[in-house]
Amino acid sequence: MKEKDPFWKVVEIMETLCGEGGCPWDREQTRESLKPYLIEETYEVLEAIDRGEPEKLKEELGDLLLQIVFHAQIARERGEFDISQVLEDLANKLVRRHPHVFGETRVKDSQEVLEKWEAIKGSEKNHSSTLSGVPSFLPALLQALRVQEKAARVGFDWSRIEEVWGKVEEEGGEFKEACKRGEREAMAWELGDLLFALVNLARFLGLDPEDALRQCNRRFMERFNHIEERLRAQGLSPHQVDLETLDRYWEEAKKGEKPS
């Protein structure tokens, strides 16, 4: 049965690639050398999701899975663990952290599920702080969101969205004052506070700030590409025309856009 399973077929191919007589490039890879590929494949999965392309998503999920299988193969060669143990640990964790499904625990809603998940996770990892489980290497906006979510689950949170709006306005004013004084250290400090407050506002509104900014970046690039294409058709490039022309093509690119 195992050899007919597509997953185990991939595992066996990876073993061959990394074994004697396998691929020279694959055999040279280390955990450190593979880190950029793991990050790249993760973001390509996100891009496929954003673009709503199921076939592309299927391909990118496969590429991401390859990275996991590759890391497990390296661990196997080092005598640490193999992919079977990874899967077994994952299965046990899923059962352990869902006592309301696989046990007798009862929960009233998804919020209580999250609270119990955090409690179980904290006891497993012996975290000294509510925030210990937030990875330090997450993108800053996503890290801020996770920090706020975890703090909120233990009651450290605003009670009304009006209070959050007030905090955004307060931090915006403090950032503006720091800019007027021209104090770069204070400007950076206050900008951080303003961004953190905006993340809080996004959380209250049920929005993902990391996703919102990523999609904004994509829209900017698509609009700018439109500008370049329009100018290229005239034998021109952006630095050869005035800002008014660039703005005109920018607004042209925006026509027909709407939130999906």
| pLDDT value, residue 128 | 67
What CATH number is attached to the domain comprising 30? 1.10.287.1080
Count of structural domains within the chain: 3
Is 249:239 a contact under the CB 8 Å cutoff?
A: no
Evaluate whether residue 113 is within a structural domain: no
Report pLDDT digits (tens) over 150-186: 899 888 999 999 999 999 999 999 999 999 999 999 9
Q: Are residues 222 and 176 in the same domain?
A: no
Domain limits for position 250:
210-254
3-state secondary structure 194-224: HHHHHHHHHHHCCCCHHHHHHHHHHHHHHHH
pTM, rounded to two decimals: 0.66
The mean predicted confidence, pLDDT, of the chain is 91
Q: Are residues 51 and 83 in the same domain?
A: yes
| pLDDT value, residue 25 | 96
| pLDDT value, residue 129 | 78
Pick the residue with more confidence: 66 or 100? 66
How many angstroms separate the CA atoms of 107 and 120, rounded? Answer: 14
From the number of C-beta atoms within 10 Å of its C-beta (0-12, 13-18, 19+), residue 66 rates as middle
